[in-house]
Structure 1
Amino acid sequence: MSSTAAFYLLSTLGGYLVTSFLLLKYPTLLHQRKKQRFLSKHISHRGGAGENLENTMEAFQHPGEFELSFCSASHQRLIKRLRDYFSCYQTRSAVTIGTDMLELDCHITKDEQVVVSHDENLKRSTGVNVNISDLKYCELPSYLGKLDVPFQRACQCEGKDNRIPLLKEVFDAFPNTPINIDIKVNNNVLIKKVSELVKQYKREHLTVWGNASYEIVEKCYKENSDIPILFSLQRVLLILGLFFTGLLPFVPIREQFFEIPMPSIILKLKEPHTMSRSQKFLIWLSDILLMRKALFDHLTARGIQVYVWVLNEEQEYKRAFDLGATGVMTDYPTKLKDFLHNFSA
């Protein structure tokens, strides 16, 4: 290669790197900042699956119930009596305890009712080995009285409300609360029915929907482009590839919510001796690649909210916000509320 060709090559590469760095830092020089219809810092995963039975009206209405699992039996009885007494005078809702957004999951029944449930098969949550899509809404079994907390090892939560609710009940109860809807199955009728409910309740400005599946997200956008969408897994991987090659600042982005896991939390969910070195290395590597402050800052500068899930410990909350996440999803709304109060103090 001649010296002239090398000079032009290096000049072009240098210009690209400088431009990429500048636009990464100041993306609005090229892209119009997205208008944010709402901001969510505190997000209750399945309504707060560590404090009430997941995806129930009790969870959505009362995320933040006082944690009793570590109290003595006598203290538990006293706290319950006090709580029952004061509940006559004060209703604790998601908004009043500090939740900015409710996250929930949807399926559709045989009679085309949109229900709030994480699992299509109800064996784990109800003890009955049956699919939601095979039953009418009136035939759905009740939740078990005690369920495992999904992102907290060896923890269970119990509650009195064990009924699988309808999505429209949640919309009725929380007309002004943003709701994050995970479309759990690739079902055209489910997507259409959810869209119709969002339109009926005029909630396009308070709803975000999607799934890890690229196909589901595409169908959601095609069905109702007025409802903001989440990044699918395929799109998250694409964003990472664009980020590390310096191309991200040049690419337009349609989605408005970058919702990702913190890979390191997997280590606390499993017994260390059950994981191989290669598994631990892959978790470490994916955490290093995904948890990037420069990436989070770039996306938020473009008006894209960054949500990290599902975090249940103070050190996890702190790490996410220190990295520039705009919101954290948790099973413990009260714990996150207390952290945010102290963190901002």
Structure 2
Amino acid sequence: MTRHPYLSPDAPRVLAHRGLVTADAAAHGVAENSFAAVAEAHAAGADYVESDCHLTADGEVVLFHDDDLRRVADDPRAIADVRLHEIEELMSERGGLITLVQALESFPDVRFNLDVKAAAAAGEVGRLVAPHAERVLVTSFSDERRRDALAAARAAGSRMRPATSPGSATIARLLAARALHRTRLVRSLLSEVDALQIPERQGPIPVVTRGLLRDAHAAGVEVHVWTVNDEDDMSRLLDLGVDGLVTDRADAAIALVNTRGTAAV
């Protein structure tokens, strides 16, 4: 399997989860997924930023995790019911709203890991990332949304498809296939993706195992683990052989990777 340009150069990679909000920035009201959070991650040396995509009432893709504004801006309205200028006003004292267009244009050296959170956003996400497919990974808990975004990128004339990581249904099929020793199905499922972005455990059940890493790497697929904030856990997972850490502490993770003698990429 040919390595997607998104995954070059070599691992391990640090993916800044929703950007980077340091304790000092948080004390000044900076929110996750804001323009300031993405800028802080970039300034800390993170070449990868993980973020989330929603669609506003007037059709703009914004980087925002939740379906509504309640947690971040103390406003109960859904993102889908609010126009862009209204969210910009709410986020003006929280680090500033960032749209997908602004992210791609303002940070041309950053590679974006985009989780499509809303079905309505999939087509527009695909269209917008089409010119940037070499530095974008598209994922979603919903495989349907993920595939819709990839199809939209192709329809928009993308020179290559964006990198991709499977949704929860595909990951469940993969784990079941491995448990049943259905090697052909494991290979087939892995052939459709560039990375597995998964938690270390799902409740009491381990997800990241040496066997899974072995199968993924044999297929040319990377394994990125979320969300890893403890430095001992970071070291342990890197020793295990994972290829990427999705973390709220990108600055600490980059420093750790650098001390291990491999530049964070």
Normalising by the residue count of structure 2, what TM-score does the alignment of the two structures yield?
Answer: 0.84
Partner of 1:207: 136
- Segments of 5+ residues of structure 2 without an aligned counterpart are 26-30, 155-160
Query: Shift in Å at residue 297 of structure 1?
Result: 2.5
Q: Superposed, which structure 2 residues align to 1:1-345 within 5 Å?
A: 33-39=1-7, 41-50=13-22, 52=25, 53-63=31-41, 94=42, 97-140=44-87, 141-143=89-91, 161-187=94-120, 190-199=121-130, 202-225=131-154, 226-248=161-183, 251-252=187-188, 253-263=191-201, 283-284=203-204, 286-287=205-206, 290-344=207-261
- Give CA deviations for 1:111-142 in whole Å, capped at 9, x if unaligned: 11111111121011000111111121011252
Query: Shift in Å at residue 247 of structure 1?
Result: 1.8
Instruction: Measure the CA separation in 2 of the matches of 1:216 and 1:195.
Output: 10
Query: Shift in Å at residue 249 of structure 1?
Result: 5.1
- Give CA deviations for 1:14-58 in whole Å, capped at 9, x if unaligned: xxxxxxxxxxxxxxxxxxx23231336111000024554210111
- Segments of 5+ residues of structure 1 without an aligned counterpart are 1-32, 64-93, 145-159, 264-281
Aligned residues: 242
Instruction: Measure the CA separation in 2 of the matches of 1:308 and 1:125.
Output: 25
State the percentage of identical aligned residues. Answer: 22
Q: Secondary structure at the match of 1:203?
A: helix
- Give CA deviations for 1:125-168 in whole Å, capped at 9, x if unaligned: 00011111112101125249xxxxxxxxxxxxxxx643221111
**Contact kept? 2:198, 2:208, Cα under 8 Å:** no
Q: Which residue identity does 1:180 align to in structure 2?
A: N
Partner of 1:267: none
**Contact kept? 2:195, 2:224, Cα under 8 Å:** yes
**Contact kept? 2:199, 2:208, Cα under 8 Å:** no
Larger Rg: 1
**Contact kept? 2:15, 2:245, Cα under 8 Å:** yes
Instruction: Measure the CA separation in 1 of the matches of 2:127 and 2:169.
Output: 27
Cα RMSD (Å) of the superposition?
A: 2.1
Q: Which has the higher strand share?
A: 2
